[in-house]
Amino acid sequence: MKRLSLCALVALVLLGAGCTTSPSTNATPAPNASFELTVVPPAMTSPFYHALVNGSVGAAVARGWQTDLAVPDSETDHAAQARLADGRIAAGTGAIAISPINGSAIAESVRAANRAGVPVFMFNLITPVPAGEVVEYIGYDQFGGAAALGNYTCRVLAGRQNTTLDAAEGEVFVLRGVPGFHSNRRSDGYLAGLAGSPSVTVVGEEVADCLRSRGEEVAARALAAHPNLSVFYATSDEMAIGAVAAIEKSGRVPDRDVLVIGIDGNPPTLDLIRDGRFTATLGVYPERMGAVLVEQIEKYRAGERLPQVLHTPWTVVDRTNLEEYGAGRTWSAPAGGPAEYDNGLPTGT
């Protein structure tokens, strides 16, 4: 587990590239220099979380806030994330922002923060935790974004086969992330997006824990078992990058012989898209999401009313709009929206 000093956090930033409302507060906010924000990501094993933390810490430092980063070693260690959150709440902090992989595991920490009078914000999450009061959930519609990727997959296959969407054919293998609602929503949404092409079918799926190495191992087995495989879809970019390595080691060419689709929009993925070795990703603007988190906390401290759920945008990114995405020209303003539930249905239903 890691706890970084403010100096270390500044160095990290320099290296990094139908709604209800929350109650307003009449309390006089602490001066910026004495206000501390605790940020608790699930781990720092992915470029996605580095970007997300860079965005939040950078925005906090720019406001003169003290910032504490509490990081478990692994995304699968839900208990460690809860322990870190509990420790910071007990020690006293101005606000705590958590990005949980397992909402149930963090619920008691939210209750502890409520008892201590520490406001809680969730980021990269719009699925309510089962207990405790959260000021605001900030994140993107995972089901909707994944459904757009499914539809995109079918359109690419139809175009390359010179046929209609309903006549497109293909075999898809799904690389699932750490078991839980993130992986479920991204898998369920993608399957919904494939519905327009009945002959584009999922021939297998396996958990690869959001790790590049595991993605490569699982993808290698899938390629051996399914010689006619058309598509790898991964619920995070890191697993998809592992699939690129497996495809190349098999003597095939990624994107040309096997489409590779992921989620996150991480810089290494964007480089692979630029090189023609990765088909598309769902760009979710992690660094800007982190900055939005701090903007919302600042509004809360000023007594503004916030939506309970704030949707940040997503964009399907391929070679046609890669530079636009990288320059931030595809960004749109976050807006209040419905919560997302792990129910197999589109967000808002």
User: Residues 188-238: pLDDT tens digits?
Assistant: 999 999 999 999 999 999 999 999 999 999 999 999 999 999 999 999 999
pLDDT for 31: 64
pLDDT for 91: 96
pLDDT for 33: 67
Residue 24 has pLDDT above 80, yes or no: no
- Average pLDDT of the residues in 289-318: 98
- Average pLDDT of the residues in 16-44: 64
Q: How confident is the model at residue 32 (pLDDT cuts 50, 70, 90)?
A: confident
Write down the pTM of the prediction.
0.90
Average pLDDT of every residue of the chain:
92
Residue ranges of domains in the chain, CATH in brackets: 2-140+285-312 (3.40.50.2300), 142-283 (3.40.50.2300)
pLDDT for 101: 86
- Average pLDDT of the residues in 59-74: 96
pLDDT for 26: 38
- HSE (side-chain half, CA atoms, 13 Å) at 160: 16
Q: How far apart are CA 26 and CA 264, in angstroms?
A: 37
State the CB neighbour count (10 A cutoff) for residue 86: 15
